Chains A and B, each alone.
Chain A
């Protein structure tokens, strides 16, 4: 394999950069996503798409959650897909859009952050991480124009300010920092409406977990591509909490408890909690 040779021969070369992507671009470009020939025709909706991700800040951190559905057009192609990824000890990302391209981007981004950290002996700043992801999203623009659109959301605990931060993107890159909360994907409009009413300043992380689950439920309620809690199969959203103690993906028992609280409330009032009118 030609590319295998090229990168193996250059392991000991000083590339002058601590970026993993730069190294691949120089010596193993075949491995990079988005380095493909133009597609003969745009792919449209034939391949699976990931849907709704929400993130909100809470007291001393940030919470991100994603539903589990992937759709190809009107078909549900996956019921238990994971769209929220740990990217390093203090950050995570969620993906919406073309699932395959998004997963590849998350994998590369994860290595990118870790590679820098190991070579330099320090982590990138939160802004540095957010900017790096913007570059990768922009690198996918050509593919996005062919239908392989990926829009990530990035959330991190910032040690300098001692709190959580959320960054959004569009197909051209970004980042756009969002105060308080943000959502992406097909159900994001409904989720955002829900978050707007349910967001409480400085909520404890477990309160914030309930808020994001409510928002995902509202998104699933009105958007056919977003999956709600699958009660019969016991498939719940993926929920991640990042605080000064680092990234923690909530174990199934904790999510089950929160989902049961949510479902009990919705059995009484299907539209969920109401915000005070004045």
Chain B
């Protein structure tokens, strides 16, 4: 059977393109620093399939893309953290080490498999003080980006990041940081997602033991209320469910072949 020749560059480009398109189909997730730690916000109507999760005492995880693929990554991260914390000490589990494990796995799959993982993830660690907070963004090819203050992943991440940058300041209180994240996630003039359609969590450095806390129900409503006083109780179904989906927007710029080390 004849097999047409494809150059390695072409193969990598195709894989990257494929993964990029898959990721761009999903909605963005925002991870942003606030006064007491790190806030993670994902528009997600599902109560069962989480995009945001706790990994360890100080470490949180956020992902976009194919659910089964990032769920495997999430579980592996929990295993990695728990084994290390059990084997050494709870303080010895760090986001940096975890990001490296993810990076090598993502990079290996990108190079060796026919299909790259269609995921983009954030590993965030809350420190004792805000300058010790760490936010790492990892792309499908295993590149690691050390983000300062905020990270956006998923479809239209560039536009969302631009909108977020306009509102973001270091040391925002929680409600204002959430407000900034939501206005970044909402198209200008569009309707904000209600509490039921949001998955929100914080890594709060003032909490004891485990810093990760999901915000939902009345607690989330209260946080949302001052920011959106005129928000109707039952907003219309989001466009992604019933109506036609907005066309996927691929991030601009040259295609990332994974050959440029960003760190």
Contact = CB atoms under 8 A, between A and B. Distances in A.
A89 to B, nearest CB: 8
A121 B55 CA distance: 11
B86 A23 contact: no
Interface string B49-62: 01001110000000
A114 B54 CA distance: 10
Given A118-B55, A119-B75, A121-B50, A11 B85 contact: no
A111 B101 contact: no
Interface in A21-35: 23-24, 28, 31
Interface residues of A, number: 20
Q: Is the interface of A mostly helix, strand, loop or mixed?
A: helix
B82 A20 contact: yes
A12 B105 contact: yes
B78 A115 contact: yes
Interface string A161-181: 000000000000000000000
Nearest to B76: A11
B72 A12 contact: yes
A238 interface: no
B209 interface: yes
A107 interface: yes
B105 A111 contact: no
A24 B48 CA distance: 27
Contacts of B79: 7, 11, 20, 23, 115
Interface in A15-69: 20, 23-24, 28, 31
B259 interface: no
B7 interface: no
B113 interface: no
A86 B75 CA distance: 24
A23 B50 CA distance: 23
A118 B54 contact: yes
Nearest to B72: A12
Contacts of A208: none
A212 interface: no
Contact of B76 (A12, A31, A114): A12
B86 A108 contact: yes
Given A11-B101, A12-B72, A111-B86, A118 B78 contact: yes
A232 interface: no
B11 interface: no
A11 B72 CA distance: 9
A118 B71 CA distance: 12
Q: Is the interface of B mostly helix, strand, loop or mixed?
A: helix
B132 interface: no
Interface in B64-81: 72-73, 75-76, 78-80
A56 B80 CA distance: 37
A31 B72 contact: no
Contact of A107 (B78, B83, B86): B86
B3 to A, nearest CB: 30
Interface string B76-98: 10111011011100000000000
A24 B83 contact: yes
A59 B78 CA distance: 36
Contact of B83 (A7, A14, A86, A89): A7
Nearest to B85: A111
A12 B78 CA distance: 10
Nearest to A10: B79
Interface in A95-149: 107-108, 111, 114-115, 118-119, 121
A31 B76 CA distance: 18
A24 B101 CA distance: 18
A31 B78 contact: no
A225 B53 CA distance: 45
A201 B83 CA distance: 42
Contact of B87 (A14, A31, A115): A31
Shortest beta-carbon contacts, A-B, top 10? A11-B76, A12-B76, A118-B78, A111-B86, A115-B82, A11-B79, A111-B82, A11-B80, A118-B54, A20-B82
Interface of A: 7-8, 11-12, 14, 20, 23-24, 28, 31, 86, 89, 107-108, 111, 114-115, 118-119, 121
13 contacts: A7-B79, A11-B76, A12-B72, A12-B73, A12-B105, A14-B75, A24-B83, A86-B209, A108-B86, A114-B82, A115-B78, A119-B75, A119-B78
Given A111-B85, A115-B78, A115-B82, 16 more contacts: A7-B79, A11-B80, A12-B73, A12-B105, A14-B72, A14-B75, A31-B83, A31-B86, A89-B209, A107-B86, A111-B86, A114-B210, A115-B79, A118-B55, A118-B82, A119-B78
